[in-house]
Structure 1
Amino acid sequence: MAEQRRRAEEAQVQQRIEAARVRRERELFALAVGPVQPLRQHGRALPARARPAPEPRQRLRDEAAVLREAISDEFDVESLLDTDEALSFRRRGIGPEVVRKLRRGVWAIQAQLDLHGLRRDAAREALGAFLRGALRDGLRCVRVVHGKGNGSPGRAPVLKAKVRAWLVQKDEVIAFTQARAQDGGNGALLVLLKPSSGPA
């Protein structure tokens, strides 16, 4: 009986201590905040706004990137190539002297992709990846070796026309021309990529 009374008294003491602590915290809060006044009840319910339909922005960006990266085999490049022996290409706004400098080796070749032995689809994917990497690394002049077709059926250069058509479709390519003999001749192209900043 005495034990129960003692426990009850201890519980009452703990309750008084807790009540005093809560009172003290409220007093400190009131001192820190200052006088407050409750908001008037205006009796109006705030209407729930109709939420706009979700827009799949990331998916749209992904689809746009895929379209940018897509290279078609059906693209007719011949109408865009300069009619010289090297079948050069330059974007609108790029002067002919850029192609001449490219052909003369003014720009140092900074990287090379060799497509020998690759089938068409594998070569297309390799070229896209190579150009993305070159642009990311800030390279300006690269060489793409498509081969002369000596190992192809009928000794016809299968990739030569394909590579030219694929390059024309890539925005980062501003010009290309057949390589000089010491750089691969008619089995390779020298490709000029757009600069990371400033004119070509």
Structure 2
Amino acid sequence: MNTLIKSICKGMVFGISSLMLTVTSHAETKAPQAVEKIDLQQYIGKWYEIAHLPNYFQRKCASNTTAQYGVNTDQTISVLNSCRTATGEMISSIGVAYPKNSGNSKLKVSFLPKGLRWLPFTKGDYWILRIDPDYKVALVGGPNDKYLWILSRDAKIDEATYQSYLNTAKNYGYDVSKLIKTPQ
């Protein structure tokens, strides 16, 4: 009987400890937050994708993924995403991003033809979650953990910088074990 009670107590202690560890690890993460403000003139231009979470619309991309941003006359942002497929073909997608906050760090992006962009639920979130002061590396995601990209002005970044951006993503609750590094 004494052994049974000890086993039950050990099980309870283990269960409580596991629960506390789970609560503690979740307490360390927080919902993704866009930076307060970006300088759009510094942000526009060409970015290389360093890594991304798997997603449907990039299923054909195998390497050389880039994003080119510009400012349109109506203050929307032009988007040209390009990549190389496994067969070596370069493909691209043209879209437009609409600023959703005064700091231009939260955008809604659509890749639909211009005449269909009015449709509800056809724009994806594009939040700049972190950007270095020199606008050389950026972490982009959204209000949930569905999409994530690490972008750089250079085709490669050093491991310390990469790990630092991974840590930021982890703190926002992203499962960085699923990130795919992009060959450039």
Question: For the pair shown, which has the larger CA radius of gyration, 1 or 2?
Answer: 1
Q: Which has a greater percent of strand?
A: 2
Higher relative contact order (CA 8 A, sep 6+): 2
Q: Which has a greater percent of helix?
A: 1
The answer to whether the superposition gives a TM-score over 0.5 is no
- Compute the TM-score of the two structures, normalised by the length of structure 2: 0.29
- Compute the TM-score of the two structures, normalised by the length of structure 1: 0.27
